Amino acid sequence: MITTMVGNYPKISPDAKAPNLRTAINRFDEGRISADELRRVEEEVTREVIDDQIEAGLDLVTDGHIRWDDGQTYFARGISGYTVNGLIRYFDTNTYYRHPIPEQPLRPNGSISVNDYEFAAAHSRQPVKAVLTGPYTLARLSQLGCYADLRSLAMDLADILNREAKALQDAGAPVIQLDEPSILKHKEDVDLFEEAVERALDGVTAAKALCTYFGDAAGIHHVLFGLSVDVVGLDFVMGPANYDLITDLPQQKTLGCGIVDARNTRAETAEEVAAAIRRLAGTVDAERLHLNPSCGLDYLPRPNARAKLVRLVEGAELARKETS
Amino acid sequence: MTTGLLTTAVGSYPKPDYITRARGRFQRGQIGAEELADLEKQATAHWIAVQEELGMDVLVDGEMYRGDMVAYFAENMAGFTNSGLVRSYGNRYYRKPIATGPVGRDKPVTVDWWRYAQSLTDKPVKGMLTGPYTIVDWSFNEHYPTREAFLMDMARVVHEEAMDLAKAGARYIQIDEPALSVRPEEMEMAARAFAIVTDGLDAFTITHICYGDFAAVFPHLANFPVDMLDMETTNSDYDFLELIRGHPTFDKYVAMGVVDVHSHRVESLESVKSGIRMGLDVLPPERLFIDPDCGMKTRTEEECVAKLRVIGDAVREVKAELGIE
């Protein structure tokens, strides 16, 4: 049983002494600091965010996605053929992302996230998970642009993300996670989704994780559980129906468990977290559980996000003591 | 002779620099609440005069005294505190309200501002509220056991505010629900909450909705407990009109956005007239109001006035061509 994050973490801190990314980006936009100076601030914040996770006691960390504007733009800007258009609402979150448009057929343009991954890995005592927005979700959240249909766009993205996943694996990433929240909103696309995910992970030998959030997987859980991945992540906060689906999880799979609410400031008690773990462990062996917030923590102010991680770890400790 | 095609606006107008500066000084404790309010009144009077000069029919106060449409109510109601900074997109951050106790009102929040704005003009000024679903969806909740419990309590508070506006004399009351279109599975619950707000309300009620999957929620919108739907139509290529066309029993009034509030470019007279004619293809003029897509606070004053002016010019020409009064 290990504790981890889904992916992103708040970029700014209320601590006046902490490196201030918000100010740095404003200064960069006004031409008052250079790209190198901005990158140094991003690096300082990334280190701070990794330290937060390690201090909270997480076993597997991420780089917090400090350099990502959003989960689409970060990849779209690194893929040849994409342009990035105006703001559009991201699911039901009241946050916005920039709408990517494939103006030309998409082609890889060197690695997208490997440098960022290597920086994080070099500055973490704990293993660092690499996270990619999955090919289905990236296609769904793009316009079709020059593509005739969603399938052809998703398959081109799957090929590009497959190269990226292999480059991350070569850089030493022990776990590579694909985030696929969109499939929960368009379950009718599950065949296309399966094909795209398999293609994106084809030949990857690092541990593979598939992560969903913002709902439950009822109706498509057999497909999720049958993917060639090691970890299947479900959101038990916005998708309580997931508790009833996990009886069908195959023995060899690990369950990624979103059990603290990453979209609300109220901090769960350690006892509440332990109760959720007990409920899961009633169905899936405790050693096959990865515990994490319900989605990325970037919806919360930094102090609340940190508290969520602390309570997650405390709850896991409590549950471990009971079972040992 | 048929009447109709009244012109209005969705809510906010750009704040002049002196208001932006004064709000900053107020936050730093350098000026008092009264000094800030005096400047906000001055800016409100300016926008009322602009709208009268442009010949608009149903006016708004421009929201010179509001920051965020949810935070404004949370800050002036009981039961809320503000969170630390959360990210909206890119490098934009805001403080999101947190419900930490039962929500309620010590006194009316918007009535004094409405009275002031209405005192400046003989044209009707809309009472402007944020709907319960949007307040709940855009707040954190540390108090209520469920979203539904939070929502129904919030609906009762917004209802009290709406009743106070009607009592003060507001003939048009707009209760904005921009969050409404993103969770089709919650539409039924949202409609129940909205029915609490408009229950027994003696005013023409409007709700503004934007950015979402209108097709998925249209059957609910067609039966929403409100008189008029104010829709962002330009930015979604007038798709909303097709939904109305496909729903012959649709009987609501519609305020149709004919200029994009996110673009700096001022629309041509011809494109706005063509948008109005598209609206008239599916709705009679007496059930069709014309306005911008959304609040205009992100535009410059020049862009905003130019967009309002082209709406007024286009409506006058279409009315003359079709003999509408």
Mutate to test the interface with B, among A12, A265, A299, A308 (most CBs of B within 10 A): A265
Q: What is the pTM of this model?
A: 0.93
**Average model confidence (pLDDT) across chain A:** 97
Q: Distance from A26 to chain B by nearest Cα, in Å?
A: 8
- Residue in chain B closest to A20 (alpha carbons) equals B91
What average pLDDT does range B94-98 have in this prediction? 95
Mutate to test the interface with B, among A38, A94, A96, A295 (most CBs of B within 10 A): A94
Of chain A, the percentage scoring pLDDT greater than 90 comes to 97
Q: Do A89 and B140 touch (CB under 8 A)?
A: no
Q: Do A264 and B84 touch (CB under 8 A)?
A: no
* pLDDT for residue B1 is more than 60: no
Q: Distance from B138 to chain A by nearest Cα, in Å?
A: 7
Q: Is B15 exposed, middle or buried (0-12, 13-18, 19+ CB in 10 A)?
A: buried
pLDDT recorded at residue B210: 80
Mutate to test the interface with B, among A29, A73, A92 (most CBs of B within 10 A): A92
Per-residue confidence band for B325, with pLDDT thresholds at 50, 70 and 90? confident
- Residue in chain A closest to B181 (alpha carbons) equals A92
- Taking residue A23's Cβ as centre, other Cβ atoms within 10 Å add up to 13
- Residue in chain B closest to A86 (alpha carbons) equals B262
Q: Pairing state of beta strands B127-130 and B172-176?
A: parallel
Interface A:B, Cβ pairs < 8 A: 61
Q: Do A89 and B84 touch (CB under 8 A)?
A: no
* Secondary structure (3-state) at A224: helix
Q: Which residues make Cβ contacts (< 8 Å) with residue A45, sequence separation at least 6? A: A11, A18, A19, A21, A64, A66
Per-residue pLDDT tens for B101-159? 999 999 999 999 999 999 999 999 999 999 999 999 999 999 999 999 999 999 999 99
- Taking residue A32's Cβ as centre, other Cβ atoms within 10 Å add up to 10
H-assigned helices in chain A: 21-29, 35-56, 73-76, 114-122, 135-140, 150-170, 190-201, 221-226, 242-245, 270-281, 302-323
Interface residues on B facing A, Cβ-Cβ cutoff 8 A: 83-91, 93, 98, 137-138, 140-142, 179, 182-183, 211-212, 262
Residue of B83, B138, B262 lying closest to A265 (CB–CB) = B83
> What is the C-alpha to C-alpha distance for residues A218 and A284, in angstroms, rounded to an integer?
18
Distance of CA B35 to the CA centre of its chain: 27
Q: What is the per-residue DSSP string for A19-88? A: --HHHHHHHHHTTSS-HHHHHHHHHHHHHHHHHHHHHHT-SBB--TTTT-SSTTHHHHTTEEEEEEEEEE
Q: ∠ at Cα B234 (B230, B238), nearest 5°?
A: 85
What average pLDDT does range A181-209 have in this prediction? 98
Q: Do A14 and B85 touch (CB under 8 A)?
A: yes
Residue B211 with chain A: CB contacts under 8 Å: 88-89
Per-residue confidence band for B233, with pLDDT thresholds at 50, 70 and 90? confident
Q: Pairing state of beta strands B228-231 and B204-209?
A: parallel
Per-residue pLDDT tens for B268-308? 999 999 999 999 999 999 999 999 999 999 999 999 999 99
* pLDDT for residue B237 is more than 80: no
Strand partners, B93: B87
pLDDT recorded at residue B3: 83
Mutate to test the interface with A, among B69, B81, B82, B87 (most CBs of A within 10 A): B87
Q: Is B27 exposed, middle or buried (0-12, 13-18, 19+ CB in 10 A)?
A: exposed
Q: ∠ at Cα B250 (B287, B148), nearest 5°?
A: 105
Q: Distance from A73 to chain B by nearest Cα, in Å?
A: 10
Tokens 């900074």 belong to: B85
pLDDT recorded at residue B182: 80
Q: Are A230 and A199 in contact (CB under 8 A)?
A: no
What average pLDDT does range B165-185 have in this prediction? 93
pLDDT recorded at residue B185: 87
Q: Distance from B56 to chain A by nearest Cα, in Å?
A: 30
3-state secondary structure chain B: CCCCCCECCCCECCCCHHHHHHHHHHHCCCCCHHHHHHHHHHHHHHHHHHHHHCCCCCECCECCCCCCCCHHHHHCCEEEEEEEEEEEECCEEEEEEEEEEEEECCCCCCHHHHHHHHHCCCCCECEEEECHHHHHHCCEECCCCCHHHHHHHHHHHHHHHHHHHHHHCCCEEEEECCCHHHCHHHHHHHHHHHHHHHCCCCCEEEEEECCCCHHHHHHHHHCCCCCEEEECCHHHCCHHHHHHHCCCCCCCEEEEECCCCCCCCCCCHHHHHHHHHHHHHHCCHHHEEEECCCCCCCCCHHHHHHHHHHHHHHHHHHHHHHCCC
- Residue in chain B closest to A88 (alpha carbons) equals B211
Residue of A70, A92, A98 lying closest to B182 (CB–CB) = A92
Is any Cβ of chain B less than 8 angstroms from the Cβ of A41? no
Q: Is B210 exposed, middle or buried (0-12, 13-18, 19+ CB in 10 A)?
A: buried
Mutate to test the interface with A, among B83, B85, B89, B100 (most CBs of A within 10 A): B89
Residue B88 with chain A: CB contacts under 8 Å: 94-96
Residue A95 with chain B: CB contacts under 8 Å: 87-89
What average pLDDT does range A84-109 have in this prediction? 94
Q: Distance from A203 to chain B by nearest Cα, in Å?
A: 34
Chain A 250-269, CB below 8 Å of chain B: which residues? 264-266
Q: Do B141 and A14 touch (CB under 8 A)?
A: no
Residue B249 tokens read as 């029993």
Per-residue confidence band for A324, with pLDDT thresholds at 50, 70 and 90? low
- Residue in chain A closest to B210 (alpha carbons) equals A89
Is any Cβ of chain B less than 8 angstroms from the Cβ of A143? no
Q: Distance from A210 to chain B by nearest Cα, in Å?
A: 24
Residue of A22, A266, A299 lying closest to B142 (CB–CB) = A266
Q: Distance from B86 to chain A by nearest Cα, in Å?
A: 5
**Average model confidence (pLDDT) across chain B:** 95
Residue A91 with chain B: CB contacts under 8 Å: 182
Q: Do B84 and A302 touch (CB under 8 A)?
A: yes
Residue A22 with chain B: CB contacts under 8 Å: 91, 93
Q: Do B86 and A69 touch (CB under 8 A)?
A: no
Per-residue pLDDT tens for A255-307? 999 999 999 999 999 999 999 999 999 999 999 999 999 999 999 999 999 99
> What is the C-alpha to C-alpha distance for residues B37 and B42, in angstroms, rounded to an integer?
9
- Residue in chain A closest to B184 (alpha carbons) equals A92
What is the ipTM score, two decimals? 0.94
Q: A157-171 burial by CB neighbour count: b if 16+ within 10 A, else e?
A: bbbbbbebbbbbbeb
Residues comprising chain A, all counted: 324
Residue of B85, B88, B141 lying closest to A95 (CB–CB) = B88
